[in-house]
A and B are shown apart, each in its own frame.
Chain A
Amino acid sequence: MTIRTLHKWLSIIIGIQVLIWVLSGSIISLLDQDTVQGRSTYNAMPPVSAIGASPVLFDITELALPANTELQSVRLARVGNKLNYLLDSSVGTLVFNAYTGEAFGVSEAQAQQTALKSYKGTGNWVSNEYFAKGSEELVAKHGHTPQWRIEFDDSINTRVFVSGIDGRVLAHRNCYSQIVDFLLMLHFMDYADEHSFNNLQVRVVAFAALWLAISGLLLVQSSFSRRDFGLKTRTKH
């Protein structure tokens, strides 16, 4: 089989995916990453305030933990103006008021206020929605943890995600974030939505693409003549 036939057959078999790679790659490169990643609407939050001189803390041994919870850490920090215990545990993050020991919940009003503070875009607030099992948009990074989604009516459809556990801002996302997620899925051939580029199909096609590129370069080398560059062909003296 000649190099030319190999190049032709590889392009017949994987040409469409090569087009998808180059097209999705170009679009991602052309889209402004500050917008895609929500940095263009994100207003840096003020540094966390100090714990301060505290009155008596609630006894951590008395906290109402689910049975058989194993703890990895207990962090004392302010969330907004409240002092809380944030526990990393075998059942995820648990948050309690550090004075009363009450379980801490992020109210709709708090989530909305946090989202508004973190937003510097030009839109107005539209709506709040609670996702007890997390939003599909954040599942790769934050799993199925509870989240609030606060939507704004700017031109890029910004939505701010606030953690339903500790009330911090998880992400600013917009229509471009969604487009890039889709393009990356195509780029990684991640049709099963595993958020991975280590799948079998992409490995096989990438291997074929490697040979498409090698054969292509060999053809470039063999198919150019001096005439292509306006030079005379070498003549014997």
Chain B
Amino acid sequence: MKASRLSQKLHKWLGLIVGVQLLIWTVSGFYMVLMDIDMIHGDHLVAEQDNGIDLSPEIQKVLNSVVSTSPKATSITLTRLMGRPSILVKQPYQTEVFDAHTGELIPAVDEAQANQLATSYYTGSSAIASTTLLTKNPPSEIGGRALPLWRVNFDDAWGTTFYISPITGELSTRRHTLWRVFDFVWMLHIMDYDERENVNNKILRTVSILALLLVLTGIWYLYFRLDVRGWLRRSSS
């Protein structure tokens, strides 16, 4: 078989074998480069918070007393939580929040408060569609984040979901439809259909090598189609 015929045939057969994945790569790749990554992260959904704190001798007093009663803590943080200066105490299996002015323990966030916090973090004006306290079976879209978390769904065109910590009231993460699509096309792009994170999987390795051969045979065939050799000969004579 002549080389030009062989290159065409190989290119055609490789196209049959991996052509569909090439289309999936270009569709998923195009989606990912087109969508602004900050928008995918949902930055536009979250209002800027006033998170500054002022130091004062009273706060120091409360801090000292919290420190003296929490010897097992691995970190004690003065920060603004739920709109007020608070002290966050992290122990190996427990996290507590105290009011930085009074030293009182702040109880866990209830549903009404979760809704109120979600609305305060939200830049939109849509209503809340549903609020659920997740305590088991973490959804895959929150990654490795620990439960419990309040899941607050908004009734907006973005399909916005806020995840709020019932202990600190912080916005743990946010998700929306375009993020979910991104995560799905990322899975298609790296061909890891289980965990969506392992680029070393056998399927991707095999198909990408075949795709490499597809592209190389395509370039080889193009060399004949464009008559590169004849063109070089003519231009040198």
How many chain B residues touch A (Cβ–Cβ < 8 Å)? 61
Interface 1/0s, chain B 168-209, versus A by CB < 8 A?
000000000000000000000000000000111100110011
Contact A51 B74 (CB under 8 A): yes
Contact A75 B63 (CB under 8 A): no
Q: A212-B26, A224-B16 are in contact. Are A57 and B33 (CB under 8 A)?
A: no
Q: A8-B225, A18-B215 are in contact. Are A213 and B23 (CB under 8 A)?
A: yes
Q: A8-B222, A71-B55 are in contact. Are A50 and B73 (CB under 8 A)?
A: yes
Residue of B nearest to A73 (CB): B79
Contact A26 B51 (CB under 8 A): no
Contact B199 A29 (CB under 8 A): yes
| Docked complex Cα distance between A196 and B219 (Å) | 29
Contact A73 B212 (CB under 8 A): no
How many chain A residues touch B (Cβ–Cβ < 8 Å)? 59
Q: Does A219 contact B (CB under 8 A)?
A: yes
For the complex, would chain B's binding face be called helix, strand, loop or mixed by DSSP majority? helix
For A203, list chain B residues within 8 Å (CB): 30, 33-34
Contact B78 A213 (CB under 8 A): no
A23 to chain B, nearest CB (A): 6
Contact A51 B30 (CB under 8 A): no
For B15, list chain A residues within 8 Å (CB): 216-217, 219-220
Q: Does B76 contact A (CB under 8 A)?
A: yes
Q: A8-B225, A220-B16 are in contact. Are A70 and B75 (CB under 8 A)?
A: no
A39 to chain B, nearest CB (A): 12
